[in-house]
Amino acid sequence: MSRRQNPERRANPLLSGRCGREPAEAMRRINASIDFDKRLWEEDIAGSKAHCAMLVAQKILSPEDGAAILDGLERIAAEIRSGSFPFREELEDIHMNVEARLSELIGPAAGRLHTARSRNDQVATDFRLWVRAAIDRLDLAMKALQQALIERAEAEAETLMPGFTHLQTAQPVTLGHHFLAYVEMVGRDRSRLADCRRRLNESPLGAAALAGTSFPIDREATACALGFDRPAANSIDAVSDRDFAIEFLAAAAIAGMHLSRLAEEIVIWASEPFGFIALSAAFTTGSSIMPQKRNPDAAELVRAQTGRLNGSLVALLTVMKGLPLAYAKDMQEDKLPVFAAADSLLLALEAASGMVRDLRPDRERLRQAAERGYAGATDVADWLVRVLDLPFRRAHRVTAEIVRRAEELGLSLAELPLPELQAIEPAITSEVAELLDVTRSVASRTSFGGTAPVRVREAAAEARRRFLE
């Protein structure tokens, strides 16, 4: 069979009006997007139904043709759901595949559906609908992660652990307080996605190719039918804007960064030198050669998703950076990074939620770590300011000398004899010893947002109200 006779290589019959020859093989392959944009099928059919109903209401399309089109679209949806729909690469994209199948099912009336619209406003509408639904799915997954974190924060409100800066022991905190930090991060992620959703919720449908249409369409009606807040105000911007996709990817990349930080801590905490937590076999894997190993692979793979998410954002920014108005075929490359980012982030969120619920803290080891590293030094400095009325900078220097002396003697601050303390600052009394108990130290941090157990419980209750109700 010759290439001209091969039905798999013929040009798109719906777009062959001006083309006098078949496309080159490379052109056919680079031009086709059906392999990935078939994920837009539900949005494409929903948009076509709304457009059809509007055309009938505006008397642009007869009720008989409208009924036939709607029935055909329902049959196509059923075929796609069942897996029997014949996706064809030579038809290029989801729009042409649906339209061609509609023509096979109902005949010439199918050709009237594309009245007063273009693939340009059609794909922009489909894509906004898909991103909007993806945001809703991700918001539910983020909320589930917050719930898991809040529950762990409540359970570990009194569990002592070292707080770190520069990954060096800084001050004692509680594990519950630490978990609540991630609740706030995820809350900001949800807020960014909600903002993105609000901005994208304008309908491009009816903008046609770029200039609008001479048909008496009702863009308010189609916007309302598809759940948009309003029609996009400018027809050129409506078909050429991909800010919503870039903003979605930026929000996804930030969320991925937060998940990576959590995953990194799980990796560190689960390591033998730390031993702060343990993960079950549900979220770890064994070694092919070392039978004693339990590797935190789920956390490592969550951490690795940042590469996909950051790459997706840079990819789409690069695609869009030099495009003149309005639509250009470069924009066909907008969907792959968005699909990949949405999939990666959803999976990472589900894995993170599972690990937070699965991990088991070693409370005694965490407490012992909180007692090491001179974590009570700040409490001593604060006491010098509060009781002896020393300027904080002098109190800081005095405390640093105390720490150096403890290091020289190989003692903790709690073990340092009072005469040694008084040799550095004569006014120090035995009251300082009480500060060096980590439980009392943590309990004293009662400022708003602080790590005292009473504050952690209050913050967890407030987080439930803010994020889960």
CA 348 – CA 364 distance, rounded (Å)? 30
Q: What is the DSSP letter of 321?
A: T
List CB contacts of 307: < 8 A, sequence separation 6 or more.
Answer: none
Return the amino acid letter for 116: A
Which of 16, 271, 280, 287 is an active site residue? 287
| DSSP strand pairing (230-231 vs 202-203) | parallel
CB 156 within 8 A of CB 442: no
CA 382 – CA 371 distance, rounded (Å)? 18
- SS3 per residue for 57-92: HCCCCCHHHHHHHHHHHHHHHHHHHHCCCCCCHHHC
Q: What is the DSSP letter of 361?
A: E
Return the amino acid letter for 312: S
CA 217 – CA 194 distance, rounded (Å)? 30
CB 186 within 8 A of CB 465: no
User: Which among 431, 420, 356, 418 is positioned nearest to 387, based on CA atoms?
Assistant: 431
Q: Is the dihedral of CA 199, 309, 136, 182 positive or negative?
A: negative
Which of helix, strand or coil describes residue 202? Answer: strand
Q: What is the DSSP letter of 24?
A: P
**Structure-block tokens of residue 347:** 């999976």
Which of 84, 166, 214, 430 is an active site residue? 166
CA 59 – CA 416 distance, rounded (Å)? 91
**Structure-block tokens of residue 317:** 């920014």
CA 9 – CA 11 distance, rounded (Å)? 7
CA 334 – CA 159 distance, rounded (Å)? 47
Query: Is 95 assigned a catalytic role?
Result: no
CB 278 within 8 A of CB 360: yes
Residue 170, judged by CB atoms within 10 A of its CB (0-12, 13-18, 19+), counts as middle
Query: Is 258 assigned a catalytic role?
Result: no
Dmax (CA) of the chain: 101
- Please give the positions annotated as active site: 166, 287
